[in-house]
Structure 1
Amino acid sequence: MKVDMEMEILLNEIPLLHHGGLLGGVDAGVDDDVDLSFLIHELAAMGVVEGDDEPPVPAAAAGLGFSGLFYPKKGENVVSSHPFSMPNHCARMPSLFDPVPFDAAAAATDLWTIRCSPPPSSSPPAATPRARCKNGRRKNGGCGMTTKPKKCAPASKPPHGESLAGLRGLMYHVARDQHGCRFLQERLDDGKREVDLIFAGVSRHAAQLMVDPFGNYLMQKLLSVCDAEQRMALVLTLTAAPCVLVRISLNVHGTRAVQKLIESLRTREEISLVIDTLRPGFLELIKDPNGNHVVQKCLQSFEANDNKAIFDAAAVHCLDIGMQCHGCCVLQRCIARSRGEHREKLVAAIACNGFELAQDAYGNYVVQYVIDLKIPNANSSLAQQFEGRYIHLSMQKFSSNVVEKCLKVFKEADKAKIILELLDMPRLEQLLQHPYANYVIYSALQNSKGSLHSALTNAIRPHVELLRTSPYCKRIYSRALLKR
């Protein structure tokens, strides 16, 4: 097997390395300073010895495995061609904390104004963890083939300023990485200096990060810790181009970031900029499963006067948005948050389209919401539209719920008109057996009084046998007055 041959060659080379000084010009007389850690890590990968937690892998051999090892040919100088020579090893192993060269152009583009790298220390460097491991292995018996080598002490982490300084010009790319985004979010808790540095690195890319699966979390955290000037700068960036904020709001990740932006707005100028930017896409936002939450967040976070543009648009397009699954919820929220003239205008627009909305799967909920408000003008307008059509509405799945609501909320005179229209039905038994109209008859019995209730009971009583057998009439038959 190829791996067995490689293992045998490595094991045969160990005595030569230890006694003959084959590590790239190391004298045999100073073999105590020889570092065999890389060779031990190679053997550990084969299963011969146990290696350290983080073996130094050369960049040139990282993707080659054992197939990239070089073996001397017959008659070739072993010392000059040995793959584990110290000069080759050092050339291939750059330090993890080598100083990052400062790129003035990148710093200027990311608005860096503070140099975070501390000045170089003049004191002699401390002993590295590698040297301690090497000494430990030498004391425990030569190359450490029979004993487990001591683990290196963990390298100290660079200071916070140094960590951010190494990200100059790369902050946007780091924010789009899962672990990098978490790191930057944690650094936002370290103080104003870190907030300023991160803001300078990502503010120009706010629109792209808000729709990123990971970057949107950083933007949400940044909005919660930035100051008023930085928040205004973000608002100006997002509202500079038309429809940018609308497209972000329609995104599954961007909608969360925009909602956080709306929550953080404080001044009238910021609110006005955001509302004016969202207004052209109002209809698209309301009908979208992500965008409708942005509109609702505006209604929840801003005052009624600030939401005037939303109320006006909702009144104009009430029929269109009221017959849509997300739009009917937004329309009800608009009614709840509006006041005075805006509310009257919105309710009147819905009442004028009451007959069409009442027959819709979603619009009927808007009509029922308006009826429950008990606004005299609105209910009177609805009663005029429904008059003469109650039979038609009672025999439909969605509008039958609206007729039941009318029987519960309308004034007595309007209730009487509904019941009289039901009694004028030539064949009342059709309504009694209908899967939807039977609920209307039952509500009429519950909400009628006096002579009107007696007239309805007398009209139903001749059909008692039908009520006993029909599956849709059991609720009506259960009424105590009909059992007598």
Structure 2
Amino acid sequence: MKVDREMEILLNEIPLLHHGGLLGGSEAAGADDDADLSFLIHELAAMGVVDGDDEPPSAPGDANGGFGFGFSGMIYPKKGGENLVALHPFSMASHCAHMPSLFDLVTFDAAAAAADGWDIRCSPPPSVSVPPPPATPRPRCKIVRRKNGGCGAVTTTSPKKCGAAAAANKSHGESLAGLRGVMSHIARDQHGCRLLQQGLDHGKREVDHIFAGVSRHAAQLMVDPFGNYLMQKLLAVCDAGQRMALVLTLTADAFVLVRISLNVHGTRAVQKLIESLRTREEISLVIDALRPGFLELIKDPNGNHVVQKCLQSFEADDNKAIFDAAALHCLDIGMQCHGCCVLQRCIARSRGEHRDKLVAAIACNGFKLAQDAYGNYVVQYVIDLKIPNANSSLAQQFEGKYIHLSMQKFSSNVVEKCLKVFKEVDKAKIILEILATPHLEQLLQHPYANYVIYSALQNSKGSLHSALTNAIRPHVELLRTSPYCKRIYSRALLKK
């Protein structure tokens, strides 16, 4: 039974050996007929199927005699060579070892195939489109038409959403009420402060809860990096009674509001407080609280903005205390970088007797202010107002000192302003003082005084202008070479 099975397998493999020239047959049409099957006949004879020789055919002795390449124990002839047999006899054992069945699984080595030059590229598998899931129908909402002055805008609101929003607002209000004891601590946290600010948008009930939780700690929160934002927003939405309560809390101690105004965060909160004040009583309380520290506030880079916000938001009568303090300390304020700006703002916002008092105080200190790096701007501002009493007071202080003032960096700007704004009589006094100097060439070459002479040429007329031109013309050669005289030499009258 076993012999029959092996014979059947052997007979079935014979056509496969012929197919494709596995036995090394010629590619010509008659190559199969010339194939040497002696080794197969020998095997069949050994099984008793056919008669054959006792010895299997031996392989040729010459290894190079027409052999090609070896594969799985078989040797294939070169193209066009003689049909040769395998070096080893054909048996079932060698067949199973070297010729596996065509239906056995074969492991494909891609790396080795690529190294042998095989083309292993193939087209990608076709993409299978998956149909999208069916869309879930959305619940229908109730349509509400807004009536804003006949506007036809239409919005859709869901009853479920409306109910959920109402429940959320209710629960939010209840949660804020439960946080009253720790709300001031929450306001000092970045995320907690944002949460409370959002609560202020939910209505009057939430505003009341938050106000009750933070009002006693308003002074501490206004200088906090995060809490000051909550206080600013609270001041914008609280009612009149709550605002008055905050004002009373912040002004109970005379220096509390001043310290807050000097802080980099507190100054913004105090400015928001000033913007929100409505009654005369509230304004009076805030001004009285700021008055003791006015001089310190006006010089401070943060506090000066609080004073300027008062000048901008309140009426002139409400700012009377600020005007009086500015007039009293005008020299000290005017010679400071922030103070000179506040002093000019005070002049601009004051009216009537308050303004006259303030301008007169500045004019009395005009000579000192004119020589200061910041005070000279205040003096120029007063000169531009063209107030007769103030300009006359300044002219009297400057008379006989114009040369001294012209040779200084800051006061030379004041003298130029005097030549542009003063009356003709006062202008003539300045030009005559320049002409009377024994060393005019020094003024022409001076880095600051040369600008004063140039302004004198521009703002003089008639015989006075001719006298000034004649005094300068002998120094034309000097004007050509000096770097500070080019503007004077460029005047058309001097070139003639």
> Which category describes the TM-score, using the shorter chain as reference length?
0.5 to 0.7
Question: Structure 1, residues 108-141: CA drift from partner, whole Å, max 9, x if none?
Answer: xxxxxxxxxxxxxxxxxxxxxxxxxxxxxxxxxx
Choose which of 224, 229, 237 in structure 2 pairs with 1:225. Answer: 237
**Residue in structure 2 matched with residue 145 of structure 1 by the alignment:** none
Choose which of 207, 210, 216 in structure 2 pairs with 1:204. Answer: 216
Choose which of 305, 319, 323 in structure 2 pairs with 1:311. Answer: 323
Which has the larger Rg?
2
**Residue in structure 1 matched with residue 424 of structure 2 by the alignment:** 412
For 2:216, what is the secondary structure of its paired residue? Answer: helix
Aligned residue identity for 1:454: S
> TM-score, with normalisation over the residues of structure 2?
0.66
Aligned residue identity for 1:367: V
The alpha-carbon deviation at position 160 of structure 1 amounts to 1.3
**Residue in structure 2 matched with residue 483 of structure 1 by the alignment:** 495
The alpha-carbon deviation at position 242 of structure 1 amounts to 1.7
The alpha-carbon deviation at position 214 of structure 1 amounts to 0.3
**Residue in structure 1 matched with residue 268 of structure 2 by the alignment:** 256
- Asked whether the equivalents of residues 169 and 202 of structure 2 are also in contact (C-alpha less than 8 Å), the reply is no
Query: In 1, distance between residues paired with 2:441 and 2:212?
Result: 76
Query: In 1, distance between residues paired with 2:326 and 2:491?
Result: 43
**Residue in structure 1 matched with residue 355 of structure 2 by the alignment:** 343
Aligned residue identity for 2:446: H
Query: In 1, distance between residues paired with 2:195 and 2:489?
Result: 69
- Asked whether the equivalents of residues 372 and 411 of structure 2 are also in contact (C-alpha less than 8 Å), the reply is yes
Query: In 2, distance between residues paired with 1:431 and 1:189?
Result: 68
For 2:181, what is the secondary structure of its paired residue? Answer: coil
Question: Structure 1, residues 31-84: CA drift from partner, whole Å, max 9, x if none?
Answer: xxxxxxxxxxxxxxxxxxxxxxxxxxxxxxxxxxxxxxxxxxxxxxxxxxxxxx
Aligned residue identity for 1:169: G
Q: Does 1:436 align with 2:442?
A: no
**Residue in structure 2 matched with residue 60 of structure 1 by the alignment:** none
**Residue in structure 2 matched with residue 85 of structure 1 by the alignment:** none
Aligned residue identity for 2:419: L
Choose which of 277, 283, 288 in structure 2 pairs with 1:265. Answer: 277
Query: Per the alignment, do residues 415 and 203 of structure 1 end up closer, same or farther by CA in structure 2, a change over 3 Å counting?
Result: same
**Residue in structure 1 matched with residue 464 of structure 2 by the alignment:** 452
- Asked whether the equivalents of residues 369 and 379 of structure 2 are also in contact (C-alpha less than 8 Å), the reply is yes
**Residue in structure 2 matched with residue 400 of structure 1 by the alignment:** 412
Choose which of 293, 311, 315 in structure 2 pairs with 1:281. Answer: 293
What's the % identity of the aligned pairs? 91
Choose which of 473, 478, 482 in structure 2 pairs with 1:470. Answer: 482
**Residue in structure 2 matched with residue 245 of structure 1 by the alignment:** 257
Question: Structure 1, residues 224-246: CA drift from partner, whole Å, max 9, x if none?
Answer: 00000000000000000120000
- Asked whether the equivalents of residues 180 and 212 of structure 2 are also in contact (C-alpha less than 8 Å), the reply is no
- Kindly indicate whether structure 1 or structure 2 has the higher relative contact order, using CA contacts under 8 Å at least 6 residues apart: 1
Query: In 2, distance between residues paired with 1:202 and 1:300?
Result: 29
Pairwise mapping of residues 62-211 of structure 1 onto structure 2 (< 5 A)?
159-211=171-223
Query: In 2, distance between residues paired with 1:183 and 1:437?
Result: 63
- Asked whether the equivalents of residues 370 and 376 of structure 2 are also in contact (C-alpha less than 8 Å), the reply is yes
- Asked whether the equivalents of residues 247 and 282 of structure 2 are also in contact (C-alpha less than 8 Å), the reply is yes
The alpha-carbon deviation at position 158 of structure 1 amounts to 9.1
Query: In 1, distance between residues paired with 2:440 and 2:175?
Result: 82
Q: Does 1:292 align with 2:304?
A: yes
Question: Structure 1, residues 359-397: CA drift from partner, whole Å, max 9, x if none?
Answer: 000000000000000000000000000000000000000
Moved runs in structure 1, 4+ residues, more than 4 A? none
Query: Per the alignment, do residues 381 and 157 of structure 1 end up closer, same or farther by CA in structure 2, a change over 3 Å counting?
Result: closer
For 1:388, what is the secondary structure of its paired residue? Answer: coil
Query: In 2, distance between residues paired with 1:234 and 1:253?
Result: 18
Query: Per the alignment, do residues 172 and 335 of structure 1 end up closer, same or farther by CA in structure 2, a change over 3 Å counting?
Result: same
Aligned residue identity for 2:318: D
Q: Which segments of 5 or more consecutive residues in structure 1 lack a partner in the other structure? A: 1-155
- Asked whether the equivalents of residues 274 and 313 of structure 2 are also in contact (C-alpha less than 8 Å), the reply is yes
Query: In 1, distance between residues paired with 2:271 and 2:180?
Result: 29
Aligned residue identity for 2:246: L
Equivalenced residues, count: 329
Query: In 1, distance between residues paired with 2:245 and 2:307?
Result: 22
The alpha-carbon deviation at position 167 of structure 1 amounts to 1.6
Q: Which segments of 5 or more consecutive residues in structure 2 lack a partner in the other structure? A: 1-167
Question: Structure 1, residues 7-49: CA drift from partner, whole Å, max 9, x if none?
Answer: xxxxxxxxxxxxxxxxxxxxxxxxxxxxxxxxxxxxxxxxxxx
**Residue in structure 1 matched with residue 69 of structure 2 by the alignment:** none
The alpha-carbon deviation at position 166 of structure 1 amounts to 3.9
Q: Does 1:382 align with 2:418?
A: no
Aligned residue identity for 2:181: G
> TM-score, with normalisation over the residues of structure 1?
0.67
Question: Structure 1, residues 329-364: CA drift from partner, whole Å, max 9, x if none?
Answer: 000000000000000000000000000000000000
Query: Per the alignment, do residues 469 and 350 of structure 1 end up closer, same or farther by CA in structure 2, a change over 3 Å counting?
Result: same
Query: In 1, distance between residues paired with 2:169 and 2:350?
Result: 55
Query: Per the alignment, do residues 235 and 157 of structure 1 end up closer, same or farther by CA in structure 2, a change over 3 Å counting?
Result: closer
Query: In 1, distance between residues paired with 2:441 and 2:415?
Result: 18
RMSD: 1.1
Query: In 1, distance between residues paired with 2:339 and 2:202?
Result: 42
Aligned residue identity for 1:241: D
**Residue in structure 2 matched with residue 55 of structure 1 by the alignment:** none
